[in-house]
């Protein structure tokens, strides 16, 4: 499929590059994985001509405020529910408890559909509409399926969602309400991916799996733009991010690099150390990063209360490892019991009911502080990726009185 016409284009996208070998692919044709290496594609933009940061001042508080640095070619194809520009909250109570100079949390649970997945799926479905796609399919651990179903409904597209049978009821039910076709099966997201491939054997649907098309990454990177803008063009010393498929981790780093090229961030600025937080039950990146395996291609994980972290064989593993290397970051696993402790502490001390993934990043910060990898004087930013309310089936009755 190709676009028939391009109107009112203000996107500066120039090409899609293979994340492995760099070979260019046309952004004017529907693309999935690279034709050369069968690996994710990454959008590249013309960043030599300056864009003043002042253009942002009168724009709406959504991710689309960074319009020139997004891949949509015509505004008429935008499928939006107001996603993005989520708040950065100061966790003064926890900072005082642990003697920290600066502890903040960006709360992605305040997005439409209750998670950061709204960003990526808004962009992916917008691009699917631009290319004339009639329906999409996704294997999901929960939030991504909900977001795809929602944005497909907005775009009047068919939506097919494949999720593990143990996914909390709230995720399943929301997909039904958006009119999606839902398939449940035993296993993790890699098993769902195999089923999605089988269901889409004739290729009638666009597979919007993590990094298997280029545009969810572009939606997720807007978190990086927002972090810089909301912190007055300064950056934290450390960002802790719950990495399952890793699109957000990769995207935030991509945004920092693009802002450096644009001059929005000085070239000399010290970029944050990026921490990839995983569940001990399913920590393929940690296993590769620490040298326990060559890569995650044969990794087998277990279910976790942090559904979004149950991604045993992430296709973006090399891209995540590159971010950790370039940022001098690290990867760490958090147990189920530690997540419950984190949920309870964030709830009781800060009044926040976060997703288990968000609790995991807080507990990772605690462990890294205890090991002196983090310093009490550093500016620490946590990413909570979703609302805790959808995970009640996983955590009900686990609080400690």
The pLDDT tens digits for 133-171 are 999 999 998 999 999 999 999 999 999 999 999 999 999
Structure tokens at 96: 């005082």
Quick check: is 280 in a domain?
yes
Structure tokens at 200: 């889409």
Strand pairing category for 24-25 and 238-242? unpaired
Q: Classify burial at 94, counting beta carbons within 10 Å of its beta carbon; exposed 0-12, middle 13-18, buried 19 or more.
A: buried
Q: Given pLDDT bands bounded at 50, 70 and 90, which one contains residue 266? A: confident
The model carries a pTM of: 0.95
**Nearest alpha-carbon partner for 28 in 63, 1, 65, 68:** 1
Quick check: is 151 in a domain?
no
Are 38 and 67 a contacting pair, CB within 8 Å?
no
Task: Quote the DSSP letter at residue 387.
Answer: B
Domain containing residue 319 = 88-112+216-395
Query: Rg of the chain over CA atoms, in angstroms?
Result: 20
276 alpha-carbon distance from chain centroid: 12
CA gap 354, 116 in Å, rounded: 12
Quick check: is 361 in a domain?
yes
Other residues' Cβ atoms within 10 Å of the Cβ of residue 367: 16
If you search the block for the tokens 């990867």, which residue do you land on?
Answer: 331
Reported as a single tens digit per residue, the pLDDT across 189-237 is 889 999 999 999 999 999 999 999 999 999 999 999 999 999 999 999 9
CATH code where residue 244 lies: 3.40.50.1100
Which residues lie closer than 8 Å to 166 by C-beta, 6 or more apart? 303
Quick check: is 30 in a domain?
no
Q: Given pLDDT bands bounded at 50, 70 and 90, which one contains residue 3? A: very low
Are 135 and 157 a contacting pair, CB within 8 Å?
yes
If you search the block for the tokens 């439409």, which residue do you land on?
Answer: 112
Cα 366-372-377 angle, rounded to 5 deg? 80
SS (H, E, C) 344-386: HHHHHHHCCCECHHHHHHHHHHHHHHHCCCCCCCCEEEEEECE
Are 124 and 78 a contacting pair, CB within 8 Å?
no
Quick check: is 154 in a domain?
no
CA gap 184, 275 in Å, rounded: 32
pLDDT value, residue 371: 98
Q: How many separate domains does the chain show?
A: 1
Are 135 and 206 a contacting pair, CB within 8 Å?
yes
Quick check: is 149 in a domain?
no
Reported as a single tens digit per residue, the pLDDT across 303-361 is 999 999 999 999 999 999 999 999 999 999 999 999 999 999 999 999 999 999 999 99
Quick check: is 211 in a domain?
no
Are 43 and 19 a contacting pair, CB within 8 Å?
no
CA gap 92, 98 in Å, rounded: 10
Quick check: is 74 in a domain?
no
% of residues, the chain, pLDDT over 70? 98
């Amino acid at each position: 499929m190709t676009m028939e016409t391009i109107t009112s284009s203000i996107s500066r996208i120039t090409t899609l590059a293979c994340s492995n070998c760099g070979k260019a692919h046309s952004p004017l044709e529907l693309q999935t994985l690279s034709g050369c290496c069968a690996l994710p594609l990454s959008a590249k933009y013309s960043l030599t001509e300056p864009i003043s940061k002042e253009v942002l001042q009168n724009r709406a508080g959504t991710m689309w405020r960074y319009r020139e640095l997004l891949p949509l070619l015509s505004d008429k194809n935008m499928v939006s529910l107001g996603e993005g520009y989520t708040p950065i909250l100061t966790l003064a109570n926890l900072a005082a408890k642990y003697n920290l100079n600066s502890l903040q949390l960006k709360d992605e649970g305040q997005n439409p559909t209750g998670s950061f997945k709204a960003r990526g799926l808004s962009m992916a479905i917008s691009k699917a509409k631009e290319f004339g796609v009639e329906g999409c399919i996704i294997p999901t651990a929960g939030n991504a399926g909900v977001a795809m179903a929602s944005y497909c409904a907005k775009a009047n597209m068919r939506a097919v969602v494949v999720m593990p049978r143990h996914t909390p009821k709230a995720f399943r039910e929301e997909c039904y309400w958006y009119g999606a076709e839902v398939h449940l099966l035993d296993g993790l997201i890699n098993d769902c991916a195999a089923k999605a491939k089988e269901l889409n054997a004739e290729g009638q649907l666009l597979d919007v799996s993590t990094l298997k098309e280029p545009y969810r990454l572009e939606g997720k990177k807007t978190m990086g733009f927002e972090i810089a803008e909301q912190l007055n063009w300064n950056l934290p010393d450390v960002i802790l991010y719950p990495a399952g498929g890793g699109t957000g981790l990769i995207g935030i780093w991509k945004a920092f690099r693009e802002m450096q090229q644009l001059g929005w961030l000085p070239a000399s600025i010290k970029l944050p150390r990026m921490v990839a937080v995983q569940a001990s039950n399913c920590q393929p990146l940690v296993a590769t990063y620490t040298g326990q395996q060559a890569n995650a291609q044969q990794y087998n994980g277990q279910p976790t209360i942090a559904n979004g972290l149950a991604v045993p064989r992430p296709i973006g593993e090399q891209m995540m490892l590159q971010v950790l290397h370039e940022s001098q970051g690290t990867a760490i696993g958090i147990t189920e019991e530690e997540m419950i402790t984190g949920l309870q502490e964030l709830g009781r001390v800060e009044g926040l009911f976060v997703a288990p993934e968000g609790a995991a990043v807080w507990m990772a910060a605690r462990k890294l502080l205890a090991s002196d990898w983090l310093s009490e004087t550093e500016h620490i930013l946590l990413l909570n990726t979703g609302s805790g309310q959808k995970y009640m089936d996983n955590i009900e009755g686990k609080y400690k009185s």
